[in-house]
């Protein structure tokens, strides 16, 4: 903070801070609040689907809930959580004093709360919140959209600006501020996954900005980018959106891979198996994420050659993902495993994310996808990747690094109970959706045929169980921060296997050698 900044009251500390740890904490607290909001929208959806027929809300409000649930969870909860972890951990992991652009870091956070306040306020505007789904397909989002769509577009622009600023900061930090001797191939996997993710974000957020700007033009300035009546094409919107949307899925899951690559070696008491292959697999996934977007669009009438290209490219992306799963399992193989809370969530991630990967392979097959498309099978697949993938890994990361962040130990028993309730609740919610999807139940519909009633009731019960587990998680975290038992640095705790381990200790990062001729003067000159 400069000499002319306001005095360091508790409020100004957060408003004007340029400290990477403070900004990381703000991202994480903001993410938690958005999880609560997005989860509340999901509870409304599942309460309505508890029985067939219209029970609680009208169909238009149901569609508003599906739109806001998706937007808040992806852009408000999952992405800021990973950015918060990046802010906290990357400088520590690479030996940097702070992020490269600390003032921009502060700004990239503080534009988020107004953006989501504006997005949530669309619920109270004329015509209600947008009801076109988080994908905002034209013409639902242009010709038939409520007036609040303009505020939705503005909010998306702000979110994009925040993401781009955060990404540039992460790239600049990793590329310019590594400690002497910390080469690229000695960086922790979490740093690697975020470096690659940041490049993805810089590449695709302008594409989303272009899509919503064309929407704005169609709505207010009489253009016809997506209107067939004026010579445009609604399918053009889908191509542009999914060229952003598919890399976005990997933007969400790559940092999760980094988290799991830190946690599994720690609780296996082994270094990560196949470090270099993990780096190359991550880079391969990032590259291929740009050439598979139209697998979301098999039913729009593409040429068969196009369908075949996207089908084979999508199948191919399973190979580097399989390499990563193999390496995680190999890391655990013959390790001295203990099953503390972060490890339980990491193993839960491994099992459930793999199931999501297999259902994704099924969806990649074009002729089969004609049947699965827009059914609850897609919903099940997506949530096995997003929730069991991203959310489980965020939970694991918070439990893993919380003692490091606040110097206090969480309640281990409560953490394990949280895991088991989450694991059971999640599977009761989403596993039956594979079956109703294969039987033909369409997604985004508030009513359904009688034959789907039992599985939907099961899904709704599971969703409320899972929601309860998140409240338990929230209580454990807040209680730890406020009144947790202090953890002495380097104090050893007895692990379940009888081996000693250190709390709080990050994953065993790759050691780097300092050149023998390096003097203090040289270090200061480098800095």
Active site residues: 69, 98, 134, 162-163, 246, 248, 250, 261, 295-296, 321, 324, 443
518: Cα separation from own chain's centroid: 40
Are 279 and 243 spatial neighbours (Cβ–Cβ below 8 Å)? no
Helix, strand or coil, per DSSP, at residue 493? strand
Q: What angle do CA 451, 457, 459 make, to 5 degrees?
A: 110
Cα separation, 270 vs 221, in Å, equals 60
Which residues touch 61 (CB under 8 Å, ≥6 apart)?
Answer: 128
Q: How far apart are the C-alpha atoms of 206 and 255, rounded to whole Å?
A: 21
Token digits of residue 339: 């099953």
Helix (H, G, I), strand (E, B) or coil at 3: coil
State the Cα–Cα distance between residues 306 and 309, nearest whole angstrom.
5
**Phi and psi for 439 in degrees, rounded to 5?**
-80, -5
Nearest CA among 269, 361, 274 for reference residue 325: 274
What's phi and psi for 492, nearest 5 deg? -90, 145
The token pair at 17 is: 């801070």
Please give the helix or strand (H or E) that residue 409 lies within, else none.
Answer: strand 408-409
Alpha-helical runs (H) found in 333-375: 341-364, 366-372
Q: Which residues pair with 493 in a beta bridge?
A: 501
- Rounded to whole angstroms, the Cα distance separating 442 from 373 reads 9
Tokens standing for residue 49: 């689907």
Q: Is 440 exposed, middle or buried (0-12, 13-18, 19+ CB in 10 A)?
A: middle
Residues 102, 105, 109, 110, Cα dihedral to 10°: 60
Residue 134 has φ and ψ, to the nearest 5°, of -65, -20
Q: Kindly tell me the burial class for residue 520, based on how many C-beta atoms sit within 10 Å of its own C-beta (0-12, 13-18, 19 or more).
A: exposed
Q: Where are the alpha helices (DSSP H) in 134-233?
A: 149-176, 189-220
């Amino acid at each position: 903070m400069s000499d002319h900044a306001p005095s360091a009251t508790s409020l100004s500390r957060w408003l004007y801070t340029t400290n990477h740890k403070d900004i990381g904490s703000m991202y994480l607290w903001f993410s938690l609040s958005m999880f609560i909001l997005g989860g509340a929208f999901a509870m409304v959806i599942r309460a309505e689907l508890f029985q067939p027929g219209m029970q609680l809300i009208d169909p238009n409000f149901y569609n508003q809930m599906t739109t806001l649930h998706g937007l808040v969870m992806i852009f408000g909860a999952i992405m800021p959580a990973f950015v918060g972890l990046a802010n906290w951990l990357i400088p520590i992991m690479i030996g940097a004093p702070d992020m490269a652009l600390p003032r921009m870091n502060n700004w990239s956070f503080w534009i988020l709360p107004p953006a989501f306040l504006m997005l949530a306020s669309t619920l109270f505007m004329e015509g209600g919140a947008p009801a076109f789904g988080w994908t905002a397909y034209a013409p639902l989002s242009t010709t038939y959209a409520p007036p609040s769509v303009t505020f939705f577009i503005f909010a998306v622009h702000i979110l994009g600006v925040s993401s781009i600023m955060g990404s540039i900061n992460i790239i600049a930090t990793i590329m310019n501020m590594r400690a002497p001797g910390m080469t690229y191939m000695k960086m922790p996997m979490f740093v690697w996954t975020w470096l690659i993710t940041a490049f993805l974000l810089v590449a695709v957020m302008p594409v989303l900005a272009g899509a919503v700007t064309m929407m704005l033009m169609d709505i207010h300035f009489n253009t016809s980018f997506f209107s067939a009546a004026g010579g445009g094409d609604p399918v053009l919107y889908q191509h542009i959106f999914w060229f952003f949307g598919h890399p976005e899925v990997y933007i969400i899951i790559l940092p999760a891979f980094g988290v799991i690559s830190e946690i599994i070696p720690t609780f296996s008491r082994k270094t990560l198996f196949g470090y270099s292959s993990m780096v190359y697999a991550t880079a391969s996934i990032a590259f291929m994420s740009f050439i598979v977007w139209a697998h979301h669009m098999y039913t729009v009438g593409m040429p068969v050659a196009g369908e075949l290209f996207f089908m084979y490219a999508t199948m191919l992306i399973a190979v580097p993902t399989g390499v990563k799963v193999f390496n995680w399992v190999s890391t655990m193989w013959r390790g001295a495993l203990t099953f503390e809370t972060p490890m339980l969530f990491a193993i839960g991630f491994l099992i459930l994310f793999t199931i999501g990967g297999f259902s994704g392979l099924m969806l990649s097959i074009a002729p089969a996808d004609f049947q699965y498309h827009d059914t609850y099978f897609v919903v099940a697949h997506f949530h096995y990747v997003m929730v069991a993938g991203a959310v489980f890994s965020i939970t694991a990361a918070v439990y893993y690094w919380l003692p490091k962040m606040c110097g206090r130990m969480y309640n281990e028993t409560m953490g394990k109970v949280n895991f088991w309730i989450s694991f059971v609740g999640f599977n009761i919610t989403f596993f039956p959706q594979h079956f109703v999807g294969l039987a033909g139940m369409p997604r985004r519909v508030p009513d359904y045929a009688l034959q789907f009633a039992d599985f939907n009731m099961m899904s709704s019960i599971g969703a409320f169980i899972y929601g309860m587990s998140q409240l338990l998680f929230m209580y454990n975290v807040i209680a730890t921060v406020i009144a947790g038992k202090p953890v002495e640095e380097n104090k050893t705790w007895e692990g379940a296997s009888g081996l000693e381990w250190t709390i709080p200790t990050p994953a065993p990062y790759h050691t780097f050698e300092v050149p023998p001729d390096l003097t203090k003067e040289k270090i200061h000159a480098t800095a």
